[in-house]
Structures are given as structure tokens and as C-alpha cells.
């Protein structure tokens, strides 16, 4: 069986892709690949200075592409709403909404609204942004919401009554795993609700395996704060990881491959899904708990103030 690569991405001319966290890592690789295939790419980033440098990189690879920038702090719901409004004013369609932005295992940090940073960025923001942009998605036949998940969902446990780690003692990695478990619960629940509403959008997820990105450093992960920790990460990268460009293939497959259906989960085809080429994989049984998914949906709506596809 042939292995899927960037060359297999169908022509994206006339299509619009919005990618959060697109100024580096998997997001930048995804933006570059889609731009080279003709898509209008909107890069939503926290820092416009870093985003402009990334935009120039994309245009170096795809000089004829249309690449736009929007500012958004994905940990701030007001910023997310403002970015969605700016996008909607400039675009009548949205073919690919790729929730790529994320933060991994930082020390306990709370947003201005009091939310735990990982939960706010990795779970609450994708829920809210999807709701804000649903009119553009439903106006676009064949549109897809792509949630970038993680192998970390396998060790995350969800406390529906303490999503923000207000009551429990905060632990960096369990908190990260919980956000990715929640993101997959959201992916599948969104798909069920889209189908029930008869909308033309598909909700899918992908994970990059163990890919080399700047996510550990950007999140302030504990290992990156010591010389020994950085050496351990470097050794893990050397022995187990794959380049970020390879890791991005899974989310690009989820976003563009013609055989992808709503509810699919894409990951690498190698040992333990750590590296390799895209294929359909399965997530742990807890991600398919429909009762928990409905509870999570309601809680996310309450916490974000964004309500959609109810009933």
C-alpha cells in the first residue's frame, strides 16, 4: 500500500483554511503545505510579529499563495471571539478549521478569566471557536473541523466537575492528558450533533505521534527548565521522534484526504503510533463515552458562553 505524503494532498484552489497556532511547528508545516496546494491560508497566531515572519516563510515556499494573518490569544475567549468575527467579516466560506494551537505541561497558570491555561487553550478555545465559525462552516460543502489530539489522551482522566483544577492538586502531565481526552470527546460529540442537524461539516481528529516541535519549550514544560531535562528531551527526540513536517502529515490527511469521514481519527502507522505515515487509528474507549461527552459539551458551553447545536 502506498504511503500518503504531501504530494497526495488534492488541489486546494478556491478553498479557505484557518489554522490556529500557525506560526511554528505543526501549524506552520500545515500552512505551508496547504498554501502550496492553492488554498487561501489564514494563520491565527498570538504574536503578529512572529506570525509575519512565518507568513514570509510560507510565501517563500508558495509565492503565488494568499496567506493572511489574524491575531488571537487562544487562552483568551474574548480574543478568540474577536478573531472569529474578523475572519467572518473577510470570508464567506471556511473549508478547513484546524485547531492546532496548544500548550503542554506548564506550571499551574491561570488565565485572566481564571481558567487553567492548558484547559483554556487546548479544549475550551476549540469548542468556542467552532461555535463562532459554525455559520461559515455550514455554508461550505465538504468543510471539516480538524482537532489536533495527542497520544497523551491515553493517560488523561476527566473530572467533569473540576475541569479547571480548582479543587484537585494540579499535576502538569495529567492535566495535559485530560485536555486531549476532552478534545477527542468533543470531536466525536460534535460529529454526532452535526449529523443530527443535517449539516455538511465533518468533525475529525489527528495526532502527530512523537513529533519534534517547540511545544515543550513554549509551554514551559518542567523538563525544559533544567540542563538534564533538556538533554533527556533531546535523547528522546533522537531515538523516538519524527520531524515536525512528518508529524503534520496526519492533520493534513485529516483535513484533505478524500477517504476521510466524520468521526475519523488519524495517526502514524508506525510502532505504538510514535512515527510513520497517516492512517486511521482508534482512540481509547473513554473517548467514546457518550454520556460523558454530552456532559462535557454542556459544561464547555456554560464556561465559554458559546452555545450551539443544542438539543
pLDDT tens track for 100-124: 999 999 999 999 999 999 999 999 9
Mean pLDDT of 133-152: 98
- Please say if the pLDDT value at position 228 is more than 80: no
Orientation of helix 125-138 relative to helix 290-304, angle to 10°: 90
CA-nearest of 155, 148, 134, 170 to 251 is 148
Q: Which of 35, 30, 5 is nearest to 20 (CA)?
A: 30
User: What mean pLDDT is reported for the chain?
Assistant: 92
- Environment class of 263 (CB within 10 Å of its CB; exposed 0-12, middle 13-18, buried 19+): middle
pTM above threshold 0.75: yes
pLDDT at 220 over 60: no
pLDDT at position 156 over 70: yes
What are 155's three cell numbers?
493517560
**Position 89 confidence tier, pLDDT thresholds 50, 70, 90:** very high
- What percent of the chain has pLDDT above 90? 88
Mean pLDDT of 13-23: 98
CB atoms within 10 A of CB 223: 16
Question: Which domains does the chain possess?
Answer: 12-304 (3.40.50.720)
> Which of 14-18, 196-200, 218-222 is least confident?
218-222
Band of residue 230 on the pLDDT scale cut at 50, 70, 90:
very low
Which residue shows C-alpha cell 510514535?
274
65 pLDDT band (50/70/90 cuts)? very high
Give yes or no for residue 11 having a pLDDT over 80.
yes
Q: Which helix (H) or strand (E) holds 90?
A: helix 77-90
Would you state the pLDDT for residue 238?
A: 41
Beta partners for residue 67, in sequence order: 41
- With 90 as the cut, is the pLDDT of residue 300 above it? yes
**Phi and psi torsions of 203, nearest 5°:** -105, 120
CB 208 within 8 A of CB 25: no
Residue 309: DSSP 8-state: S
SS3 69: strand
Whole-angstrom distance, CA of residue 301 vs CA of residue 298: 5
Q: Kindly list the catalytic residues.
A: 176
Residue-level pLDDT at 231: 43
DSSP codes, 272-310: GGSSSSEEE----GGGG-HHHHHHHHHHHHHHH----S-
| Burial tier of 278 (Cβ tally within 10 Å: 0-12, 13-18, 19+) | buried
Average pLDDT (4-32) is 97
Q: Average pLDDT, stretch 212-239? A: 50
Nearest to 16 by CA among 99, 93, 90: 93
Quick one: pLDDT at residue 227? Answer: 43
Give CA–CA dist 158/270, Å, rounded.
28
For residues 85 and 122, the answer to whether their CB atoms sit within 8 Å is no
Amino acid at each position: 500500500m502506498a504511503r500518503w505524503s504531501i504530494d497526495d494532498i488534492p488541489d486546494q484552489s478556491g478553498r479557505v483554511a484557518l489554522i490556529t497556532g500557525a506560526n511554528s511547528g505543526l501549524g506552520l508545516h500545515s500552512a505551508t503545505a496547504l498554501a502550496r496546494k492553492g488554498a487561501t491560508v489564514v494563520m491565527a497566531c498570538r504574536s503578529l510579529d512572529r506570525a509575519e515572519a512565518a507568513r514570509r516563510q510560507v510565501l517563500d515556499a508558495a509565492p503565488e499563495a494568499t496567506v493572511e494573518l489574524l491575531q488571537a490569544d487562544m487562552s483568551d475567549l474574548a480574543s478568540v471571539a474577536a478573531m472569529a468575527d474578523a475572519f467572518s467579516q473577510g470570508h464567506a466560506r471556511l473549508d478547513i478549521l484546524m485547531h492546532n494551537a496548544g500548550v503542554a505541561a506548564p506550571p499551574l497558570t491561570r488565565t485572566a478569566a481564571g481558567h487553567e491555561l492548558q484547559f483554556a487553550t487546548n479544549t475550551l478555545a476549540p469548542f468556542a471557536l467552532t461555535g463562532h465559525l459554525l455559520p461559515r462552516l455550514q455554508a461550505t460543502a465538504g468543510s471539516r473541523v480538524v482537532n489536533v489530539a495527542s497520544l497523551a489522551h491515553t493517560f488523561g482522566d476527566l473530572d467533569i466537575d473540576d475541569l479547571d483544577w480548582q479543587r484537585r492538586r494540579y499535576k502538569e502531565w495529567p492535566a495535559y492528558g485530560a485536555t486531549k481526552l476532552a478534545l477527542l470527546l468533543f470531536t466525536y460529540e460534535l460529529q454526532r450533533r452535526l449529523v443530527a442537524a443535517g449539516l455538511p461539516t465533518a468533525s475529525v481528529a489527528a495526532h502527530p505521534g512523537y513529533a519534534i516541535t517547540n511545544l515543550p519549550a513554549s509551554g514551559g514544560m518542567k523538563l525544559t527548565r533544567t540542563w538534564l531535562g533538556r538533554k533527556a528531551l533531546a535523547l528522546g527526540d533522537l531515538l523516538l521522534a519524527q520531524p515536525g513536517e512528518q508529524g503534520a502529515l496526519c492533520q493534513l490527511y485529516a483535513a484533505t484526504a478524500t477517504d476521510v469521514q466524520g468521526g475519523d481519527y488519524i495517526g502514524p502507522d508506525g510502532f505504538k503510533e510514535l512515527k510513520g505515515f497517516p492512517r486511521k487509528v482508534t482512540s481509547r474507549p473513554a473517548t467514546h463515552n457518550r454520556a460523558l461527552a454530552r456532559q462535557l459539551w454542556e459544561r464547555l458551553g456554560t464556561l465559554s458562553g458559546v452555545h450551539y447545536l443544542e438539543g
